[in-house]
């Protein structure tokens, strides 16, 4: 199973992560309303995943444990998670990527050991990620707020990518002014 689009935009006092709901097995859509974006750490962190569903749930659980271990330190929790992800024999086989954010930082996590902060306020993953990223970058300088950018950019990705649908889940947090 694969295919999804997850987009994160940080703009105007908000950080928003949105994702589509499509799950595909080969050329067949097996589910159209999967929830790939969720809240963690009692609502202080939002995250979205692309990749194998069971692998992503495992990673969310591990990240939640790291956030309990390092409360209020998203970057540290993510670095510790990716260290485990790279070195643990079981975790090393997990195939997923994650976008996570709190009020201070936005990060991309991968099994290759990446903990990346976007240069701008926009980052995307998944099979439709590049379409959503391009659309969001084109919209970010305009008058739209972060949520409107995420909704429109994911809509554009759904029109182009056959592995992305328009059934969106959006989560947002208020952030420090930037």
Q: Looking at 4, 5, 82, 164, which residue is catalytic?
A: 4
Q: Which residues contact 61 (CB under 8 A, 6 or more apart)?
A: none
75 is annotated as an active-site residue: no
91 DSSP 8-state letter: G
Alpha helices in 41-124 (DSSP H): 53-69, 74-87
d(CA 164, CA 160): 8
Q: Which residues contact 142 (CB under 8 A, 6 or more apart)?
A: none
Q: From residue 48, how far is each of 98, 108, 110, 142 by CA, in Å? A: 6, 10, 12, 25
CA 49 to chain centre: 5
Q: Which is nearest to 51 in space by CA: 109, 4, 100, 116? A: 4
Sign of CA dihedral 115, 119, 124, 126: negative
Q: Which are the catalytic amino acids?
A: 4
């Amino acid at each position: 199973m694969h295919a999804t689009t997850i987009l994160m935009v940080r703009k105007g006092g908000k950080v928003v992560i949105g994702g589509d709901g499509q799950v595909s097995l080969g050329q067949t859509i097996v589910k159209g309303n999967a929830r790939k974006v969720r809240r963690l750490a009692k609502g202080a962190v939002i995250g979205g995943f692309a990749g194998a569903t069971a692998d992503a749930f495992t990673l969310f659980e591990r990240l939640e444990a790291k956030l309990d271990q390092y409360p209020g330190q998203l970057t540290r929790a993510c670095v510790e998670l990716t260290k485990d992800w790279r070195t643990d024999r079981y975790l090393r086989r997990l195939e997923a990527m994650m976008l996570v954010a709190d009020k201070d930082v936005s990060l991309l996590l991968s099994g290759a050991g990446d903990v990346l902060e976007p240069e701008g306020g926009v980052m995307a993953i998944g099979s439709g990620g590049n379409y959503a990223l391009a659309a969001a970058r084109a919209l970010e300088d305009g008058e739209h707020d972060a949520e409107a950018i995420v909704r429109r950019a994911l809509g554009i990705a759904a029109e182009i990518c056959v592995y992305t649908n328009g059934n969106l889940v959006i989560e947002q947090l208020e952030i420090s002014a930037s």
